[in-house]
Amino acid sequence: MSTGIIIGEDSLARPSWAATDPMMRTYYDTEWGMPVRDEHGVFERLSLEAFQAGLSWSTILRKRENFREAFAGFDPEVIEGFGEAKVEELLGNAGIIRNRAKILATIKNAKATIALREDGGLADFIWSFQPDSTPAPNALEDIPTTSPESVAMSKALKKRGFAFVGPTTMFALMEALGIVDTHLLGSHRRGTSGIWTA
């Protein structure tokens, strides 16, 4: 069974998905799995994970700057005011994923994020689902796609008015934010978040 670990020309061990494409490698080395605890950072990643549903992460990453421009830097207060004219404009923007349901979900989630400020805010809410332990995968096949916490988070967010927050998408969000560490045990990034030990 392949572990999915590849040693790069820099002698660092990475999973196969982050080993060849320079953009994905930089994202893996510097950003993925590092703690994000501010509302803006969490909202942006929540939004991008929703757009990623059914697509590859590299597709989203390549369009991230376009998304930031189209969605006002992922400022919930601006996005909550997006009306039908803005939705139509976004549907005509080839630089982003032109999916009406996902665009409407982003607007809905901006409103829900603002409402959540009265109860501690989005970042604290998301981080409250941090588990007691994190997976310790030896191979890519060992990495789960959901967890009891991601299922609970999905249900709780839906109750709060969020959309496109299924358990698999929320587990991916937990990985991206550092709430869980699913770096392979042989990876140079395992345990580097400061949240979990190697």
Confidence class for position 197, pLDDT limits 50, 70, 90: confident
Give the whole-number percent of the chain exceeding pLDDT 90: 93
Residues 76 and 44: their CA atoms lie apart, in Å, by 9
Residues 173 and 78: their CA atoms lie apart, in Å, by 23
Phi, psi of 7 (to 5 degrees): -90, 120
Whether the pLDDT of residue 134 is over 50: the answer is yes
Question: Rg for the chain (alpha carbons), in Å?
Answer: 17
Read off the pTM.
0.95
Residues 112 and 122: their CA atoms lie apart, in Å, by 9
* Tokens coding 186: 């042989």
Is 27 tagged catalytic?
Answer: yes
pLDDT for 2: 55
Beta partners for residue 5, in sequence order: 15
* Tokens coding 108: 């809905």
Residues 62 and 58: their CA atoms lie apart, in Å, by 6
Which amino acid, residue 136?
A
pLDDT tens digit string along 154-172?
Answer: 999 999 999 999 999 999 9
Residues 43 and 147: their CA atoms lie apart, in Å, by 21
pLDDT for 4: 82
Residues 135 and 180: their CA atoms lie apart, in Å, by 7
Q: What is the mean pLDDT of the chain?
A: 95
> Interhelix angle for 100-116 vs 84-91, to 10°?
130
User: Mean pLDDT, to the nearest integer, of 117-143?
Assistant: 96
89 CB-near residues (< 8 Å, 6+ apart):
none
Residues 36 and 38: their CA atoms lie apart, in Å, by 6
List the catalytic residue out of 39, 49, 149, 175. 49
Is 175 tagged catalytic?
Answer: no
pLDDT for 198: 67
* Tokens coding 193: 């978040």
Whether the pLDDT of residue 12 is over 80: the answer is yes
